Every structure is written in C-alpha cells, then in structure tokens.
Amino acid sequence: MSYQPDSSGINSLGGFSFQIKVFVYYMLMLEEGMQIEFETLDDVNIKKINEDEIDKNSEKFISKIFGNDSNIAVQVKRTSISNDVALKVLMNWILLESSENSITEYVLFTDSEYKNEDIIFEKTAAEIFEIIKKSNKKANAIISKVKKLYKDCFDDFERIYEAIKKKYKFISMDNIDKNIDNNCAIHFRKAANKVVYEQRLSELLQHITVEIMGSVENKTPYVIEYHRFVKLVEDICSRLNEKITAPIYADFKKLHPIDLSNSEISGSREYKQLVACELPELLIKQHLIYGMYYESTVLKYMETNKLSKIEEIEETTYENFENVKFRLQKKKCDMPYNRLDETKKMSNSHAENEQIKYGSGIYLTREDIEKNQISWEDEQNAKLKE
C-alpha cells in the first residue's frame, strides 16, 4: 500500500487560533536575549476557554516581544476594525503606556482578508478625550479605567496619545500560514523531508496552543525565551523524524476531550468493550484517548511510509493478547478487565511510548478491524448478558 499525504499540509494549521498563529510567527524570529509573552490585558471570564474564544475576545489578549533594546506590544485583530474596535485597541495601549512598561513599538496586526484600513489615529487626541469624558460605562471597562486615570488632565493624555502614535505600526498580513511556513523552514529542516517538516510544524502549533490555553485559564502570562524555544525545536525534531514518530501524548489529550454522551462514541465497539471491563467513566475516557492517540500516530506513520511499523506494533499487540488470554484461561481467571490489564503489561518494543502501546490494543477492538481484532469480552458472552 502506498499512502500519499496531503501536499498542502500547512493548510492543517487553519484550525488554530489566529492569535496563536501570530504569536508563533513572532516566536519563530526570536534571537539570543529575546523572549515573547502572551498575556491577558483584563480578567478573562470565560468558563471554558478555547481557540475560538481567544479570537472572539482578542481585545483581552496581547503579545509582547522583549529584547535587549526593544519591547514590542502586538494587538491582534482578525475582524473588521470599526471605530469602536479601534478605540478599544487605543485604550489598551494608553493603559500600557501609562504603566511602568517601557514599550518601544505598538503593532496592530490584522488579516488582509478583512481589507482593514489603518484608522487607529483617525481621531485627534482632543476628539478621543471627549469620547472618554462622555463615557458612562461600568468601572471595570477599559475606557472607564482610562477616564479614571486622566480625569480632566488633557495635556497628560495628549502626551501619551502622541507617544503611542510615534511608536505605532500597522500590519495587514496576507496568508499568515505561508509566513509561518517561511519562518519555520530552517528550524524544522523543510528541505530535508517535507512530510516530516509538516508534522513538526503541526506539533509546534499544537504544543503552543496547549501551553497558551493553560496559561489563559490560569490567568497567568505564557512566556517563552530564546533558549527554551531552541530546546523546544530540538525536542520536536528528535521525536518526529524519518525513524521516530512520537507526538506528545499530553498535548493530544488536552486538545481531544472525550464526550461519552456522544452517540458515535457510546455506540462504538471499543467503548462497549471497555464497559465490559467494568471501568469507571474516567478510565473509559482515558483508554479511548489512548486509541485516538494511536490512530492519529498511525496516520503520521503512513505519511512517512512506516507501514511495516504499523504491522509490527499491531501484530505484537495481538499476539500479546492471545498469550494473555490463554494464560488467564489456564488460571481460570479469564475476565474482560484481566485481559485488558495483562495485555497492557506486555512488552511491545515497536511502540515508541506506553500510550502508543496501550492505544494499539484499544484500536484493535474496533468494529472495522478485519485482521487481529481484540475482544476483552467475547461476543457470545456479551450476547448472553443481553
């Protein structure tokens, strides 16, 4: 069998938050002595943060790039920039400039798809000041914070307004994915193997997404400095290459939560087989994640033509199961949970980590497996229970 991967693998980045893509775009340009930070400008009262919510609430997030002689504040907008949006951006920057932060450059970064024009400083300082004075929004609103800070001190306000204007830059980028691709080509050795390169790039986006979402939920800044970034690149290259394919399980788990109320999941054979093992819901979810993680890794194996590796893993897992089943029958303790537990304990040197080994066993309980299908509970026993 010959598998042909999608030659436009960079398109798979489409599902990631635009905010996070811009963060990665700048992170890929870090140099010695630099770091980049993703932080919240305000309290984020989102019960369950996800990538879409980050983009929808973009005024609450900002990236800062620190260097030896620079401190760049980047506000990202993937939407049409109205006068209200422009005002919110400016209010955020006024609070930043009024604080102890020494910002050397303010950047408004937008997607060219929205054909935005640069209107941040369309209104004069006097016009903006009047809008602030007339505002009667709640005390925790950004504009109210600026109003409290400057009250009737127009001269101070105008000085801050002009300082930001001098340090301001507007970027309307065409195709952020292509620009990330260009910045990443050397880091991940695109010229050596394009398929492996795309896997590494996807792994980077996935990892940064998990890290940022975790920081947002904890209301703490996410900071990565140059040396840590270099180590991350090295780690990804060592786990994803022509010989080894081992994506981070913890990242995969965080980005793929299991919903047992989903009929597609609860109706699956692998779910029913785990139920037969009398596992609690928490462990059923855990084992289903193992199976999903293995399936995802198999696709990566196929992309890099590691077809024999798939066969070796699955053949070994099935033989382990058959040996366990026979041993349990001889000891007269052949029960679904024992089959699962003892099979997991068996060695499988072809799997790069434990989760790939466990996941291969869950994967082989699927309904559509024609060769080497595994049953923690034999079909006839299941029918008798019914």
171 has a pLDDT exceeding 70: yes
The whole-number pLDDT of residue 358 equals 98
The residue ranking higher by pLDDT, 171 or 50, is 171
The residue ranking higher by pLDDT, 156 or 69, is 156
The whole-number pLDDT of residue 99 equals 86
CA-wise closest residue to 316 among 375, 358, 379:
358
| 161 touches 170 (CB < 8 A) | no
The whole-number pLDDT of residue 266 equals 95
The whole-number pLDDT of residue 43 equals 60
The residue ranking higher by pLDDT, 12 or 379, is 379
- Domain spans, the chain: 9-238, 259-385
150 has a pLDDT exceeding 90: yes
142-150 vs 154-166: helix crossing angle, rounded to 10: 120
248 has a pLDDT exceeding 60: yes
pLDDT band with cut points at 50, 70 and 90 for residue 10? very low
| Residues shown for the chain | 386
The residue ranking higher by pLDDT, 201 or 51, is 201
CA-wise closest residue to 365 among 301, 317, 307, 329:
317
Q: What is the mean pLDDT of residues 169-194?
A: 95
42 has a pLDDT exceeding 80: no
The whole-number pLDDT of residue 151 equals 86
Question: 218 to each of 15, 31, 47, 141, 296, how far by Cα in Å?
Answer: 23, 28, 11, 21, 29
Please tell me what DSSP assigns to residue 58.
Answer: G
The whole-number pLDDT of residue 216 equals 87
Q: What is the mean pLDDT of residues 26-32?
A: 95
CA distance 229 to 243: 23
As to burial, measured by CB atoms within 10 angstroms (0-12 exposed, 13-18 middle, 19+ buried), residue 192 is exposed
315 has a pLDDT exceeding 90: yes
| 217 touches 53 (CB < 8 A) | no
Q: What angle do CA 174, 231, 290 make, to 5 degrees?
A: 85
pLDDT band with cut points at 50, 70 and 90 for residue 333? very high
The per-residue DSSP string of 122-185 comes to SS-HHHHHHHHHH----TTSHHHHHHHHHTT-HHHHHHHHHHHHHTEEEEEES-HHHHHHHHHT
Least confident of 7-11, 59-63, 328-332: 7-11
The whole-number pLDDT of residue 2 equals 33
**256-269 pLDDT per residue, tens:** 999 999 999 999 99
128 has a pLDDT exceeding 50: yes
Please provide the average confidence, as pLDDT, over all residues in the chain: 91
Kindly give, in sequence order, each residue whose CB lies less than 8 Å from that of residue 167, ignoring residues fewer than 6 positions away: 103, 104, 105, 106
